[in-house]
Chains A and B, each alone.
Chain A
Amino acid sequence: MKSFQMKALALAVLGLAGFGFAGSAMACDATNLTAWNGGAAAISGGTVTAVAGGLDGSACAMSAALGTAATSQASVLDTSPANEARYRFQFLVDPSHVTTLTAQDSVALFSATNQTVAHGRKGIILVGLVPTATAGIDNISFSYSCNNGTTYKCIHTSPVNLVAGVNRIEFDVQMATVGNANGSIRYWINAPAGATEPAPTDSVTGIDNSAWVGTKLASLGLGSPSPHWSSAHHGEAVLFDTFDSRRQTYIGH
């Protein structure tokens, strides 16, 4: 049985590996991604590599870049979640190596999906990188499955922008109980250090999402590029690090 801390995967593990190799040169290569039991999905020109310089001070980070195809994907997969009715996740992301986003740019950073299709959708939440009105300052938005009776997809944009460089993003996704609109999504952008859960940056409540049961597959990396991202930002790397996911307690740092 899994404990409260479901897992601390991949790039956090990379950091531990780096610590383990203290005193010798740390190799950042594909072996660093093997902690992801679903492996890497480098599709249609997408690339996923481990590079030197972890975002949390560790030895390595994950570098993801997409090709020019609309179907391009560059991510790592975790298949261990067991239809989690509550799923917390956290990761570090650094998009500063991407050239300035325009209003037509967007790309997915993380997704959690259900095991089966409901109302034509499997996705529970899709977190993406989007531009703001200020050049060089990015933000996140996320779409999520919801029973709105039409598209079964709702969308929300964070009122708080990302900062330049490394950002720590944490989400707490709770599925609704059957027949009720009591699901919620809470999230923290660059929360202060500490293990005690602070007030979230923002939240969405009253979600009827029980039809999607719970998280079965998590994907960290790039995907679902907008057409302009494919044409203007192909080959540009976004760095990720220190992924962690849990069922119940705040992750923090």
Chain B
Amino acid sequence: MKNVAMLLLACSCVSAMGSVYAAGGTCAAPVALSPLNASGSASGNTCTDGSGGGATTNQVASYCGIQDLSNQPQEVYSVTLAAAGSAGRTATSLSISSTTAAFSATMYLFPGTTAADCANGGPPCGQTGDKTSAIDLTTTDVAVATAGTYYLVIGANQVEAKAATACGDYNLTWNNALPVKLQGFSVH
């Protein structure tokens, strides 16, 4: 009879709580989620995070050349990613949730380095995710595989984009897949 004992220990110590970030900014002044290696979260409300407690302003009118996001309130983060598959990119997914039922909280992650890149909204189009589908940061899709800086725009989807209810609260979370090291192994 075999008796297998394994002890797996994380080789790095990261707070279970992770980093907590505030609401996003604008294309001109995004809130940096950097380097997105430790697990963390960010939250905001596109209905109330704007000037005077009102809705935020539209930052990206069109995404991927065709999707009409004009008029909808949005918030913007900047994200620095190491290359997919490298030791520097330990986060594997980026998720969004919202308690505003009518709000189709959607994430638009695309490469760019300037406010104009952000406002342009791609292409390159990067990846998208919403309340039912996380962004996979392990993908080999060239659009998000390359090391670099990306914009993460939070808003509604293109179908809801022009509706009066196209805003709401959101909570972004990303994990940190801890590097795992085999510390002991024996067979009896």
Chain A residues close to B by CB (< 8 Å): 69-71, 103-104, 106-108, 120, 126, 128-133, 141-143, 150-151, 153-157, 224-228, 230
When each residue 96-135 of chain B gets 1 if its CB lies under 8 Å from chain A and 0 otherwise, what string results? 0000000010100000000010011001111110100100
Assuming the contacts A104-B157, A130-B68, A227-B128, asked whether A69 and B142 have C-beta atoms less than 8 A apart, the reply is: yes
- For B64, B116, B133, the residue with the greatest tally of chain A CB atoms inside 10 Å of its CB is B64
- The size of the chain B interface, using a CB distance under 8 A, is 31
Partner of B143, one of A107, A120, A150, A227: A227
How far is it, in angstroms, between the C-alpha of A63 and the C-alpha of B30 when the chains are bound? Answer: 42
- For B61, B116, B119, B142, the residue with the greatest tally of chain A CB atoms inside 10 Å of its CB is B61
Q: In angstroms, how far is the closest chain A Cβ from the Cβ of B134?
A: 12
How far is it, in angstroms, between the C-alpha of A69 and the C-alpha of B142 when the chains are bound? Answer: 8
Chain B positions 56-110 with a Cβ under 8 Å from a chain A Cβ: 61-70, 104, 106
Cβ-defined contact, A108 with B119, below 8 A: no
- With a cutoff of 8 Å between Cβ atoms, the chain B residues found around residue A143 in the complex are 62, 65-66
Cβ-defined contact, A155 with B68, below 8 A: yes
- With a cutoff of 8 Å between Cβ atoms, the chain A residues found around residue B176 in the complex are none
Partner of B141, one of A70, A106, A130, A131: A70
- With a cutoff of 8 Å between Cβ atoms, the chain A residues found around residue B67 in the complex are 106, 130, 141, 226
Cβ-defined contact, A226 with B159, below 8 A: no
- With a cutoff of 8 Å between Cβ atoms, the chain A residues found around residue B104 in the complex are 103
Q: In angstroms, how far is the closest chain A Cβ from the Cβ of B85?
A: 18
* B158 within 8 A of partner (CB): yes
Cβ-defined contact, A128 with B61, below 8 A: no
Cβ-defined contact, B70 with A155, below 8 A: yes
- With a cutoff of 8 Å between Cβ atoms, the chain B residues found around residue A157 in the complex are 68, 162
| Count: A-B pairs, CB below 8 Å | 92
Partner of A107, one of B66, B69, B70, B119: B66
When each residue 172-184 of chain B gets 1 if its CB lies under 8 Å from chain A and 0 otherwise, what string results? 0000000000000
How far is it, in angstroms, between the C-alpha of A153 and the C-alpha of B116 when the chains are bound? Answer: 11
* A-B contacts, 14 listed (Cβ < 8 Å): A70-B123, A106-B66, A108-B65, A120-B116, A130-B68, A131-B159, A153-B120, A155-B68, A155-B70, A224-B123, A224-B125, A225-B125, A226-B125, A227-B64
- With a cutoff of 8 Å between Cβ atoms, the chain B residues found around residue A104 in the complex are 106, 128, 130, 133, 157
Cβ-defined contact, B120 with A151, below 8 A: yes
Q: In angstroms, how far is the closest chain B Cβ from the Cβ of A248?
A: 28
Q: In angstroms, how far is the closest chain B Cβ from the Cβ of A130?
A: 6
How far is it, in angstroms, between the C-alpha of A143 and the C-alpha of B124 when the chains are bound? Answer: 15
Q: In angstroms, how far is the closest chain B Cβ from the Cβ of A93?
A: 14
Chain B positions 31-61 with a Cβ under 8 Å from a chain A Cβ: 61
Cβ-defined contact, A106 with B158, below 8 A: yes
How far is it, in angstroms, between the C-alpha of A11 and the C-alpha of B69 when the chains are bound? Answer: 33
- With a cutoff of 8 Å between Cβ atoms, the chain B residues found around residue A107 in the complex are 66
Assuming the contacts A104-B157, A106-B158, asked whether A156 and B128 have C-beta atoms less than 8 A apart, the reply is: no
- With a cutoff of 8 Å between Cβ atoms, the chain B residues found around residue A225 in the complex are 64, 125
- With a cutoff of 8 Å between Cβ atoms, the chain A residues found around residue B142 in the complex are 69-71
Partner of B160, one of A69, A103, A230: A103
Q: In angstroms, how far is the closest chain B Cβ from the Cβ of A192?
A: 27
Cβ-defined contact, A227 with B65, below 8 A: no
Cβ-defined contact, B66 with A227, below 8 A: no
10 closest A-B pairs by beta carbon, nearest first, are: A128-B66, A103-B157, A155-B62, A106-B66, A157-B68, A103-B159, A70-B143, A226-B64, A104-B128, A141-B68
